[in-house]
A and B are shown apart, each in its own frame.
Chain A
Amino acid sequence: DTEVTQTPKHLVMGMTNKKSLKCEQHMGHRAMYWYKQKAKKPPELMFVYSYEKLSINESVPSRFSPECPNSSLLNLHLHALQPEDSALYLCASSHQPGGAGELFFGEGSRLTVL
């Protein structure tokens, strides 16, 4: 199994809603990542978890709250988002923390904030 599975694929939410994005991998990878990708832009790193601990937060606003319940799961909790937060949110994992070697990406969750 070389897949990273993200749900939901599409999400539409209002600015007062609370929602969550989910990511799952069963490759035994010890690092998991959240990236944000706006249209026609490169993916931008948001958070990194290494061995289930938050190791990197790229100054992301607190309306985005990551959680790593176990080594296979990564969540991104969303609250009080702004329309400019609309983007494709990509989850990735790697065997080793620090990103050495290949990052395996999910297909992304496309978020629209109204």
Chain B
Amino acid sequence: GEDVEQSLFLSVREGDSSVINCTYTDSSSTYLYWYKQEPGAGLQLLTYIFSNMDMKQDQRLTVLLNKKDKHLSLRIADTQTGDSAIYFCAGGGTGGSYIPTFGRGTSLIVHP
């Protein structure tokens, strides 16, 4: 199955850009997802990218995919304190199932 690795923590100042990185092992993953989990809450899909794309932009979010290096990143422009949360990278689409396999999550802390 898919194995997904992320750095555990990231701390930024409000207004700066945040970049959260992820590496995955299974090159046959069709979908790569970014989910956000706020304290005491479930997970919320932020965005996803198909494996045949290099980049996807959605308002303040930019996803970059490097298939050769199996590296995925999420950039959040103009980071706000409300962006403080855990961000999970996930891969899906191997073996006929698109059910996401989650990484350990990166805890983003935004300082005023």
Contact = CB atoms under 8 A, between A and B. Distances in A.
Interface in B43-70: 43-45, 48
Interface residues of B, number: 21
Interface residues of A, number: 23
Given A99-B97, A102-B45, A107-B40, A43 B92 contact: no
A45 B99 contact: yes
25 contacts: A4-B42, A41-B104, A42-B4, A42-B88, A42-B104, A42-B105, A45-B99, A48-B99, A56-B99, A90-B43, A98-B96, A98-B97, A98-B99, A99-B97, A99-B99, A100-B98, A102-B45, A102-B48, A103-B45, A103-B99, A103-B100, A105-B44, A106-B42, A107-B42, A108-B41
Interface of B: 4, 31, 40-45, 48, 88, 92, 96-105
